[in-house]
Chain A
Amino acid sequence: MAVSGFEGFEKRLELHFFGDDPVVNNMEMGLRLLDFESLEKVLHAVQCTVVSAVGNHFFDAYVLSE
């Protein structure tokens, strides 16, 4: 590993979901309903934390540590 901790190009993971429940399918929020505690658990597994965040009507974006 480099002295800086830099290990190379990013790794990118994209996951798509669908809901069988018409109510869920029509729901505008879907995964955006995940509470921050759940996201933090996911990011703990990835060894990252949120350092900055922004969102709009369509989606939420988080800048992560690392």
Chain B
Amino acid sequence: SSLFVYPTKIIIKTCGTTQLLKSIRPLIHFANNLGLTLCGCRYTRGSFIFPKAQPFPHTHFKEEVIYIEEQIPNNLCYRKASVMPSKLPSYSWHVFTASDQTYMPRFALKSPDVNFTVEVCMTELDRNLARKFFKKAGDSKTGDSAGKDMTALTGVDNINPGAIICDFAFDPCGYSMNGIDGDRYSTIHVTPEDGYSYASFECVGSIYDDADDIVGVLKRAVQVFRPATLTVSTTSTSHEVWTRVAHAMEPLGLKCRSCVMDEFPAAGSIVFQSFTAARR
């Protein structure tokens, strides 16, 4: 799991349950103490794999949305909840956004939203590659030290060689890392156990970047895991970004099975694509 704190933005991403929604109210409270007011909220997730394991009050997307709406102030009046489907069973993308009526012009005047966010979810990882995310038997290394080993061994450090990496290996297996490169973050989380292996990769790009940049980053990230199934959610005000994503996946033997787009007030458009390996 990861937490990113910018001067006017907080991102929290947790594996497992939806307990992170309980952070909304205290974050609003502490931000208010600093003279800051909430003006935008975005919540995204894939499908629950174990829906019965999700604790109250977040047992169903409708309930999650109701809960979030109870936590955020009324000034965030532009709200939208959507479940974006895919052709792969049990792979839907759930999105809720809310924004202040003043959010868009304020945000646009201060800094046009040229950045986009790419969230990649990978399942059925290559077994040999996933094995690298297990700590060695009898290894007495700390999580930091073992994490550094995994970063180097798996090639995670090659995804963006310019990034400073903060990594951690869990016991007996599992791995998380955050990369920071200027004002941009990237993050990886891995659950390598066979049968329900999973990895996620998320990064930020700019529509002004060379188109090959995001393609290269995604290729290198996916090659660390070589998943059988992969979904990509791209949040952007530009409609060109998602086509770059498709171009990055196809040479890796991943075939696009579905692609849906939806518009969200103040959050731009979200494109949700699903891919499966053509051959393993």
Bound complex: CA of A62 vs CA of B165, how far in Å? 11
Whether A27 and B7, one on each chain, are in contact in the complex, defined by CB atoms closer than 8 angstroms, is yes
Name the A residues within 8 Å of B107 (CB-CB).
16
Given A16-B103, A56-B164, A10–B1 Cβ distance below 8 Å? yes
Name the B residues within 8 Å of A55 (CB-CB).
180
Bound complex: CA of A61 vs CA of B119, how far in Å? 17
Mark interface residues in B125-148 (1 if CB within 8 Å of A CB, else 0): 000000000000000000110010
Question: 23 interchain pairs (CB within 8 A)?
Answer: A6-B198, A9-B49, A11-B13, A13-B11, A16-B39, A16-B40, A16-B107, A18-B8, A18-B36, A31-B34, A32-B7, A45-B22, A45-B23, A50-B3, A54-B178, A56-B164, A59-B183, A61-B2, A61-B166, A61-B187, A64-B1, A64-B2, A66-B15
Whether A33 and B42, one on each chain, are in contact in the complex, defined by CB atoms closer than 8 angstroms, is no
Whether B42 and A42, one on each chain, are in contact in the complex, defined by CB atoms closer than 8 angstroms, is no
Once A and B bind, how many residue pairs between them come within 8 Å at the CB atom? 244
Contact partner of B168 (CB less than 8 A), chosen from A45, A47, A56, A63, is A63
Name the B residues within 8 Å of A64 (CB-CB).
1-3, 14, 176
Whether B43 and A11, one on each chain, are in contact in the complex, defined by CB atoms closer than 8 angstroms, is yes
Name the B residues within 8 Å of A34 (CB-CB).
5, 30-31, 34
Bound complex: CA of A51 vs CA of B167, how far in Å? 9
How many residues of chain B have a CB within 8 Å of chain A?
79
Contact partner of A14 (CB less than 8 A), chosen from B42, B54, B147, is B42
How many residues of chain A have a CB within 8 Å of chain B?
54
Bound complex: CA of A65 vs CA of B170, how far in Å? 8
Bound complex: CA of A3 vs CA of B38, how far in Å? 38
Name the B residues within 8 Å of A14 (CB-CB).
9-11, 40-43
